[in-house]
Amino acid sequence: MSVFDFIGEELQEIRDLGLFRKFRTIEGGVGSKVLIDGRELVNFCSNDYLGLSSNQSIIDKTLSILKKYGVGAGASRLVSGNFKVHEELESMISRLEGAKAAIVFPSGYMANLGTIQALVGEGDAVIIDRLDHASIVDGARLSGAKLLVYPHKDVGSLANVLEKAKEYRRRLVVSDHVFSMDGDIAPVKELEELAKQYDAMLMLDVAHSTGVIDTHFGEETITMGTLSKAAGSLGGFVAGSSDLIDFLRNRARSFIYTTGLPPAIAAAALASMDIIYTDSSYKQALWNNVYYLKKGLLSLGLDIGGSETQIIPVMIGDAKKAVEASELLFENGLLLSAIRPPTVPKGTSRLRLTVTASHSKSDIDLLLKNLKPVKENYIV
Ligand SMILES: *Cc1c(COP(=O)(O)O)cnc(C)c1O
């Protein structure tokens, strides 16, 4: 008997349910290719949507800042870790989002945690879509506010929830803009109208939208995003009014009590955001691939849920079958992940495909060819 016995027991439970997670080790590769166990695979589960993480001009700019300022920021932003490049990045983000100001966190996860916690607390209500990202759920729980959940994109139910939430001091509605597991898009107009009608704050998480679709919302809407997906770097951000950003700088615990982003990483993000908003060719290449892949998936008769973007679920259902399918694809040179509970609701396990600007037509053809037997053998 040991106080740690529960760990072994819970691990066994996780394994029995087919939910055990383990690493795959990436040994190399750029763009759409990864090297694993000495084998080159086509990567269909990267969030590097525009291929900017290996963009040469971004790498060069990053290196020059790295040489100038060293590897780490050395302290939190409010102590001595605030470099000029952090401020340039924030002013770039605010301009691009059409907001008055912006603040950069070390990650998107931390941006959600800190922002939700700063905006609401005990006596308030935080209202989220059932399929919102885990970082929104965690931020909502940590805040101490009453957590209310409405069915996915169901604005009728949201209106009812908001009606009941009138008794709380403040209300905050948070939704993914592009949903991370389903690739569908939130009903922004309706959310903004309801927020206005019920005197609620609204925050939209554009983690999967930046560089992919437009992220300009109404003036009152708070934009939260990440620099680690299409921007190919690392970091999270919030854009909004000057007061909001001043407030977060003073109240967001995940901003205050952590070291600032390495200046070189901020420089990388700055260079990426510049490309995203001045050169539409990457976005165009991405969307060409989205259309080409979706056409192929639909002609195979696969169920891709409500996907409207570069995130495309291929619905399987059973968790173990989803894992077996991803292993078969792996054997055939394709890397894509099986997404299982608790990331998605029970019985909706799936292969989650993400297509990027880096994929070639032959990458996509290889995927389609190998999904044919998946449909025949793993989807009942
Ligand atoms: C990935 C993601 C985050 C977290 O961003 P990181 O920068 O990776 O921490 C937040 N929200 C959504 C919807 C995401 O998909």
Whether 309 is in the pocket of ligand 1, judged by its Cβ within 6 Å, is no
Over residues 305-310, the mean pLDDT reads 97
Average pLDDT, the chain: 96
First to last CA, the chain: 44
140 pLDDT exceeds 90? yes
328 pLDDT exceeds 70? yes
Residues 216-264: tens digit of each pLDDT: 999 999 999 999 999 999 999 999 999 999 999 999 999 999 999 999 9
The rounded Cα 76 to chain-centroid distance in angstroms is 24
Whether 223 is in the pocket of ligand 1, judged by its Cβ within 6 Å, is no
Q: What is the DSSP letter of 210?
A: T
Ligand 1 centroid from CA 16, angstroms: 29
Q: How confident is the model at residue 380 (pLDDT cuts 50, 70, 90)?
A: low
Which H or E run includes 85?
helix 84-96
Ligand 1 centroid from CA 285, angstroms: 23
Residue nearest to atom 1 of ligand 1 (CA): 207
The three-class DSSP label of residue 136 is: helix
Between the alpha carbon of residue 101 and those of residues 243, 249, 254, 288, the distances in Å are 9, 11, 18, 33
Helix axes 263-278, 56-69, angle to 10 degrees: 150
CA angle (34, 230, 352) in 5-degree steps: 60
Whether 208 is in the pocket of ligand 1, judged by its Cβ within 6 Å, is yes
Residue given tokens 């420089």 in the structure block: 267
Q: What's the whole-model pTM score?
A: 0.96
Partnered with residue 105 across adjacent β-strands are 236
Residue given tokens 């490309």 in the structure block: 275
Q: How confident is the model at residue 29 (pLDDT cuts 50, 70, 90)?
A: confident
Amino acid at position 111, single letter? A
Whether 207 is in the pocket of ligand 1, judged by its Cβ within 6 Å, is yes
